[in-house]
Chain A
Amino acid sequence: MKRRLFTLLILLVGLSCKCQVKEGFGLFTDHDLYTSGENILLKVFVPSNELPGIVNVGLFNLKGMQVSAAFLEMTDRQANGYIHLSDTLSSGCYFVRTTTRTSATQTVKEVYIANRFSGLSESGIFLRPTGVVPIFDVPIQTLQVEGIEKSYKRRENVHVTLRFSSELLSQTDGNLHVSITRLTPGFNFSTFYTHAKPEFSRTVGNEGMIISGTVTDAGTAKPFNNAIVFLTVPDSSPRFQYFNTAENGRFYFQLKNYFGEIPVVLQCFDPERKHELKIRLSNTENLLASLPDFETIVFPPELREIVAKNVEAHNFSRIFSQLQLKEKPVAEAKAGKYPFYGVPTRVVYPKQFIDLVNFDEISRELLQGVRFRENNHVLTLQLFNFQRNKFFDEQPLILLNGIPVEDIQAIRNLGTKEIDRIEVCLSERFYGNLQFPGVIAIYTTKSDYSWLNESDSVLKLRLNAIEPPSILNSPTDNNFKEPDLRRVLLWLPSLKPEPNMNIEFQTSDVRGRYKLEIRGMGRDGKFFYKENFFEVN
């Protein structure tokens, strides 16, 4: 009996050891206090045991529900970006969390967000986590900051030199993060590690975004085996993927090299056309893995004043349309030299010909090898197979702005005014295991997808793919007439460390105490920092 209890104990200890967080992400933000409508600037250092790829950063409310998210591209185990705070966020404490889809750890930082219309709650109390073990980083002395004064005037140009010792340079892993932000005195928001449940195994990798979900039989609600799921990213050169579900009805798609918001269409169907299917996406990202306990805190009066001023400053900056960030151009994902359906046999631009009112006329007058007919109120579309010198018996793959269309009615009324170009493949085409008896791709002048009705088997989404890189918008002229309401004077998240580094910035019109912060990660995986403070009067 004792031996059994001992075995059980060892097993429990062994399993619980998994929950011990040994090495986590370094997560740093520009502030702790925000106003809705602002951006949370982010700097993430990634542990050495993580796979390269994408870092997921999410903003969660106290119920553990995700309210906003960003996918940041990892470069040299670091990631930079921001989370935009919606204007409608209610005032209160929130969590910024960073992890990857294969990570067993996550780093969580608490922030306070004040709604820009309602400000702080009248009661002046709020909930914040308790019982968490905050992370304390190591301050370093081997980094010297030269040329920094105790105080500066508003709109003053400042020049600072950072001098690194050779020892520190050799111990630094990757780039440094340098920032100058307005300090919020008297309140410390903590950052802590928690255990995470990895969404996928490491074999899946961490590159690109994964869209996953389940296809079920609409009648029985059971997972559907062998359903075909199409994913299309509609564009002038569309991207297309497909997936055959297994017995569990699950499907997975990976989206690589997409930046910003992208439209995505998911369609599923039974290849035998016998069952009505239902498609739904997985929602695993939307919950925080574990929530800490909370305690009620009274908002300090001096902090109330600071929050009120922040809200006022933000509202002013909105009036003057001052943008905090500007996006850097990125090379968008290309669909390749040619579309997924192959090099078209013919490309026809109907505008080069006389106006034709519908697709019937266009097919008869302009499209050689396309037979579009209506017999007994039944529409048929057939393409000529040049390889076999006869028309295909089956309906071809019809694409409207890159999206597969099953119902020919959708293209029936498209005339010269609506169509930009038509591409036709007059041969039997293969894409992986899919076989198409010819392809006809119609691209309309308006790239809208309103004709595609969302249903159980069709999902129209707008996904936030990888966040495009952005830089802080700093004024280049200190004589501009608008008020300069920046609270972040400098945000250089990826600076290559050198023995002597010159930093230049300009103070804003916002008075107060500012912090110059230099952060980095050592080769031992530990984070270090150096802080200097100054006043702007």
Chain B
Amino acid sequence: MLFVVALLGILAANKLEAQEEVPKNWNAEKIRGNRFLPDATYLGTPFIFENFLNGKIELEDGTMIENLRLKYNNYRDELICYNSAISTQIVVDKISVNSFTLTDEKGIFHLFRKLYYTGLMPGDRYFEILSEGDISLLVYRKILLLSCPVYGEMGKEKNMSYQEAFSYYFYQVKKGFELVKPEKKSLLSKFDASNQKSVKKLLQQNKISVNDETGFVKGWNLIKSSGVAVNF
């Protein structure tokens, strides 16, 4: 008994010296934004990912906030974060965000970066990075709200519908954006006539057909690694 008391005494004395523990995430960066209010219902959806996905946000000052439930509103080009503590969907202030990532249901990782678009309707936009490098391949995954026939397969429907209008760009920090279409012809136009033949051969040898986004990205990554000079 005496032994146990002595043992407890020693342990307790040692415990008293222990330093103060602070709660987990006590100093976590706070997300700032407005309440998300859904738009009126039309045909289709303003989101390419309908559900909230796991993601992280890198703020302008470099702070990383992880393990978030995020959703990208393609129609409004807004990032929405679900705050489970207050059960609220918050539109994250675009000014505070540098980049964010989403991992979709298939486990595919999507990186979006805020860049200042200098073309028509200039301003900060979220671009998905399809291929990163000295010249990056980006896509602005815009969804437009367009008028459509009121009567469809289901009878009388809405007169507006959300429609994908993705824009692809080559981007370099110094030179800015250059619009490109995810087609073979558009890709080849970025090379000198002398290089176009070798690019075509390279794509054929690797059995890459550039007629959609996936093929375009594969083709671009292959050309990039081969070191063929790009006209940009």
Contacts and interface: CB of A to CB of B under 8 A. Distances in A.
A273 interface: no
A433 B20 contact: no
B17 to A, nearest CB: 6
Contacts of B32: 340, 342, 429-431
A241 B90 CA distance: 19
B71 to A, nearest CB: 16
Contacts of A435: 86, 88
Contacts of A410: none
B7 interface: yes
Contacts of A343: 93, 95
Interface of B: 3, 6-7, 10, 14, 17, 19-23, 26-28, 30-35, 37, 60-61, 83, 85-86, 88, 90, 93, 95-96
A4 B23 CA distance: 38
Interface stretch (A23-31, A156-164, A194-202, A361-369): A194-202
B34 A15 contact: no
Given A201-B20, A433-B83, A428 B35 contact: yes
Given A8-B6, A15-B10, A336-B61, A200 B22 contact: yes
The 9 tightest CB contacts between A and B, nearest first, are A432-B30, A198-B19, A428-B35, A4-B3, A433-B85, A427-B34, A430-B90, A254-B27, A252-B22
A212 B26 CA distance: 12
Contacts of A102: 19
25 contacts: A7-B7, A11-B10, A15-B10, A201-B20, A204-B22, A246-B23, A252-B22, A252-B27, A336-B60, A336-B61, A337-B60, A337-B95, A338-B93, A340-B30, A342-B93, A343-B93, A343-B95, A387-B34, A429-B32, A430-B32, A431-B32, A432-B30, A432-B31, A433-B86, A435-B86
Given A199-B20, A430-B83, A433-B83, A388 B37 contact: yes
Contacts of A11: 7, 10
A433 B107 CA distance: 29
Contact of A200 (B19, B37, B93): B19
B32 to A, nearest CB: 5
Most buried by A among B10, B21, B26, B90: B26
B67 to A, nearest CB: 15
A388 B34 CA distance: 12
Contacts of B90: 430
Which residue of B6, B20, B28 has the most chain A CB atoms within 10 A of its CB atom?
B20
Contact of B35 (A8, A340, A387, A433): A387
Contacts of A212: 20, 22
B208 to A, nearest CB: 42
A25 to B, nearest CB: 18
A319 interface: no
A298 interface: no
Contact of B10 (A12, A199, A342): A12
Given A343-B95, A435-B86, 16 more contacts: A7-B7, A8-B6, A15-B14, A102-B19, A199-B20, A201-B19, A203-B22, A212-B20, A241-B30, A336-B61, A337-B96, A342-B34, A343-B93, A388-B37, A428-B35, A430-B88
